[in-house]
Amino acid sequence: GEHPEPSRDRRNSVMDLSVTVGGVSLTSPLVAASGTVGSVVDFADVIDFGVYGAAVAKSVAPEPWDGRPPPRIAPVDSAMLNGIGIQNPGIEAWVRTHGDQIGSLGTPVWGSVVAHDAAGFGTVATRMSATPVTAIEVNLSCPNLQGLPFALDASASAAVVRIVRAATDLPIGAKLSMDAEPIQSVAEAVFEAGADWVVVGNTVMGAAIDPETRRPRLSGGIGGYSGGPIRPLAIRAVMNIARDLPDIPIVGCGGVSTAAHVIEYVLAGASAVGIGSAHFADPHIAQRITKQLHRYAEAHSVASITELRGAYEPW
């Protein structure tokens, strides 16, 4: 277990964790990633959101979505596949159930919008803007009516972001897919369309088959792969965007479970860092990471986390 810190004045040795992402000030670089903390409100008795800069609610669509039949989650090695299908109650029920409570958490809550067509994203963003959410994340990894994720197509992604931009005055983050190659072209397109930052990235598409039953481990066959093994893919994407498009703020996300992972994302160029699947193993992970960040700061004489942004040293 952890030993209590010696009681001494640590004010001079604790890192300033405040960051700015696309003009939005956060008290911490840690963001609770969408899809891992429910509506945020319904996890507030399990997770102390006070240590996060922001928490992102699960994506909401114009109408209720049932999601996919089980099995919807499969552990694979040290990571997981999910094919949940963005089950959600639809925006009207979401606003009725959670709308008023969001403002009482004390931590900024970002909504997440999803739809099968660009107009649907606008519908959800308009309704969501009437609640206390402080920003809107655009989940571009959802398939469109043709079955292709918006996130794989720069112009389709930009069209969605333009509609959301017209629907709300709130800051917008566009959640990209690391399956897009090159991801820089999608990042540039959504930024020009009005996104204030990009989230890099979502799960990567994957599949697994059970040799005993010969069936896929997910009912839908393929699903989103998340956890530690995707971190190098996301780090590469963050590095590439930060190098080629330095004006675009980035929230790095994927495989984060320690302070070292957070610092890795920041060194690569991220302004803030999402914690996702790691919540399932440890709901208190953000407290642990925050303590570790201060220890790192002390060991390396870092006064502010922003000093580290993009500060990796190429060979």
Q: Cα(257)–Cα(260) distance, rounded to whole angstroms? A: 8
Q: Is the peptide bond before 71 cis (omega within 30 degrees of 0)?
A: yes
Strand order in the sheet with 222-226: 73-76, 79-82, 222-226, 204-207
Is 253 known to be catalytic?
no
**Using an 8 Å Cβ cutoff, are 99 and 36 in contact?**
no
With beta carbons less than 8 A apart as the criterion, state whether 136 and 170 touch.
yes
- How far apart (Å, rounded) are the C-alpha atoms in residues 246 and 310? 9
Q: Could you tell me which of 34, 49, 189, 4 has the C-alpha nearest to residue 112?
A: 34
* Residue 187 exposure: Cα atoms within 13 Å on the Cβ side: 28
Q: How far apart are CA 34 and CA 57, in angstroms?
A: 5
Q: Which of 56, 142, 160, 270 is catalytic?
A: 142
Strand, helix or coil for residue 182: coil
Can you tell me the distance from the alpha carbon of 157 to that of 175, in angstroms, rounded to the nearest whole number? 10
Name the pairing type of β-strands 197-200 and 250-253.
parallel
Residues with active-site annotation:
142
